Amino acid sequence: MFKKTILALTLLFFFPPNIFAMEGEGSAPQDPLVLINYSNAFDQNEIHEKFRSLIEQLGCAGNVFDQENLEAHSVDLDSISIDIPGAKPVMIGSAAGCEMPADFTATTIRVSGKQAIEMYEQACLKQLNHARFMAMTRRAREAFTSLALLGGAVGLLSCLLPPTSLGGSFGVFAAVFDGIRLLHPITGSALDLANPPINQLNALEDRFAKTQCFIPKVLWPIIIEKFMAARTNLFERRDSAAFIEFALDLATFRPKPTLTLPRDSFHEKFTELFTKIDQFFDGYERPSAENILMLKNNVYKFIHLLLDNKSQTPRYLYLYGTGGIGKTHFANQLRKWIEEFIQGGIHFENMVITPGEELEGCADTPGAFLRILRNQLKENKLGSVVIMDEATWLNNDNMISPAKRVFNGDQSRLSTSYFGRGLEGSGINLKMPPMLIILASNEQIKDPALKKRFDVIEFPSPKKETLILFAQEIAENSKFLQELQIDTSRFNFGEWLDASHINNFNDVKSQIEPAIKAAAQR
């Protein structure tokens, strides 16, 4: 009898996993989704196959299915219809007076583009939510398994020892106690399901699930890895979430906005744009016809590349000349003229670069062009006009090598180490949209190899008449002079320019008001 008691108690406590070892106090993670299987949550291969026709229409099949020569393009979701296989047809009751579909058993339905997008997103979220459900109920499922094993052990115990015996009653008591303990993870999972945890990662997970097909495939495992780090390590959560949010904006395969530009108006619009460029330089001393032609040629290439991604890419433009002669002003005007040509399709970025990491980027910092790409994609624009002012840093010894790697002549690809070095250690390559990149500086590029990568344009000096008009405009709009009730029409702007030897806009802007005030007091 004693041997049976020992055998029964051993069976009770060691055959099922002891709840004291499995579910100790305080061992349960505070975030129930820390156990989520992200590989299953974001493995959308079956969904992509089901919605293949939609993905092909959206232009991201080249990304999802690794098909060559397929790129993102413009698409009007209202004008297309998509066949969705494996979908149940919408049932309309006969009581409504409607006939049932002839092919009632069909597993393919035709829906509009917008409906297909909604169905696709719902399918992606359903898979993600299933992974969340499995994570939040994992402890409960383990507890139910333990309860089943415990029940079997109790049944076997009752066969070996009568419940009225000392060993039997002790075994029943231990089983009841363990059973009560097992209710803790079950009720905890039930509460988690009733009140899902609120976390900033949830919204990022939803967003990645719905837009994964638009994000470069090479980034998928990197983003998933960051999700895992954010869930499991509180100290990395903030940085990982910021990284994920940045990466999710890089939806390079999202459908582009549709341009409504009649082909027969190309020549007229280009003529108008080039006339504005000519009129701008009419206010300058001896502008180089060759430089202006070079400038127009790059603008022409940029606009054509916006309309046809197989066109030639423009070269980097480098405007140099003395300070205050209008280089940045011209670049801003050019951007406005291009926006008038391609209305609503251009992103504009004006930046000043300081350290090399800000230009090229590193593992902790996205480079300048990666930030520009992200900002453009957030606005869903076709291309960007980028102005890098005060670019004298190109002649700094510590900037020449990074500049050569960034301005490498290939504007179709962006190599970045921000997402890791990859298997070959060369970084991640991303496809770049059209960009017109303009650098402005007071100095010529000194490094010969770097200089060859730019179309270098020596910016001419403004004419005296142009400076006079600029000074008159400032004087007429000056609230300072208006408060002093000074009549600016009596001031001789030409003589003032000659006497002060001013030959740039910055000096005119800073000195014209004091000069008019001093002249009025004499």
Residues 6 or more apart whose Cβ sits within 8 Å of residue 37 = 131, 134, 135
> In terms of domains, do 145 and 197 share one?
yes
The radius of gyration of the chain from alpha carbons, rounded to an integer in Å, stands at: 35
Q: Which of 31-40, 83-92, 194-203, 205-214 has the highest mean pLDDT?
A: 205-214
pLDDT for res 213: 94
pLDDT for res 83: 61
* pLDDT bucket at 22, cuts 50 / 70 / 90: very low
> In terms of domains, do 249 and 285 share one?
no
Question: 460 and 451 in contact (C-beta within 8 Å)?
Answer: no
Whether 15 maps to a domain, the answer reads: no
pLDDT for res 168: 52
Beta strands in 219-366 (DSSP E): 316-320, 346-351
> In terms of domains, do 185 and 280 share one?
no
> In terms of domains, do 82 and 211 share one?
yes
Q: What angle do CA 449, 455, 456 make, to 5 degrees?
A: 85
> In terms of domains, do 381 and 481 share one?
no
pLDDT digits (tens, 9 = 90+) for 217-260: 999 999 999 999 999 888 889 999 999 999 999 999 988 877 76
Q: Give the residue-averaged pLDDT of 332-351.
A: 89
Q: Give the residue-averaged pLDDT of 96-124.
A: 67
> In terms of domains, do 438 and 468 share one?
no
Nearest to 232 by CA among 37, 57, 16, 99: 37
Look at residue 170 and tell me whether its pLDDT is greater than 90: no
Whether 21 maps to a domain, the answer reads: no
* pLDDT bucket at 93, cuts 50 / 70 / 90: very low
> In terms of domains, do 234 and 349 share one?
no
Whole-angstrom distance, CA of residue 179 vs CA of residue 182:
5
- Whole domain around residue 182: which residue ranges? 31-87+105-255
> In terms of domains, do 65 and 193 share one?
yes
Q: Which of 230, 255, 280 is the last residue of a domain?
A: 255
pTM: 0.78
> In terms of domains, do 289 and 389 share one?
yes
Residues of the chain by 3-state class (helix, strand, coil), percent to 5: 60, 10, 30
Question: 71 and 174 in contact (C-beta within 8 Å)?
Answer: no
Residues 6 or more apart whose Cβ sits within 8 Å of residue 417 = 361, 362, 363, 427, 428
Whether 492 maps to a domain, the answer reads: yes
Whether 73 maps to a domain, the answer reads: yes
* pLDDT bucket at 517, cuts 50 / 70 / 90: confident
CATH of the domain at 269: 3.40.50.300
The domain tally of the chain equals 3
* pLDDT bucket at 489, cuts 50 / 70 / 90: confident
Whole-angstrom distance, CA of residue 190 vs CA of residue 270:
66
Whether 282 maps to a domain, the answer reads: yes
Look at residue 28 and tell me whether its pLDDT is greater than 80: no
Q: Which of 210, 235, 255 is the last residue of a domain?
A: 255
Q: Give the residue-averaged pLDDT of 392-414.
A: 87
> In terms of domains, do 291 and 246 share one?
no
Question: 358 and 272 in contact (C-beta within 8 Å)?
Answer: no
User: In percent, how much of the chain has pLDDT > 90?
Assistant: 35
Q: Which of 313-322, 377-386, 485-494 has the lowest mean pLDDT?
A: 485-494
DSSP symbol at 485: T
Look at residue 98 and tell me whether its pLDDT is greater than 70: no
Q: Give the residue-averaged pLDDT of 93-105.
A: 41
Whether 362 maps to a domain, the answer reads: yes
Look at residue 101 and tell me whether its pLDDT is greater than 50: no
> In terms of domains, do 196 and 62 share one?
yes
Question: 413 and 429 in contact (C-beta within 8 Å)?
Answer: yes
pLDDT for res 134: 86
Whether 100 maps to a domain, the answer reads: no
> In terms of domains, do 244 and 285 share one?
no
> 24: which 2 tokens?
């100790």
Residues 6 or more apart whose Cβ sits within 8 Å of residue 334 = 277, 299, 385, 438
pLDDT digits (tens, 9 = 90+) for 259-295: 766 666 778 888 999 999 999 999 999 989 999 999 9
Whether 11 maps to a domain, the answer reads: no
Q: Which of 221, 255, 289 is the last residue of a domain?
A: 255
Look at residue 207 and tell me whether its pLDDT is greater than 90: yes
Q: Give the residue-averaged pLDDT of 384-390.
A: 92
Distances (CA, A) of 209 to 136, 219, 394: 19, 13, 42
pLDDT digits (tens, 9 = 90+) for 425-455: 567 888 888 999 999 999 999 999 999 999 9
pLDDT for res 519: 82
> How confident is the prediction for the chain on average, in pLDDT?
80
* pLDDT bucket at 352, cuts 50 / 70 / 90: confident
Whole-angstrom distance, CA of residue 223 vs CA of residue 240:
9
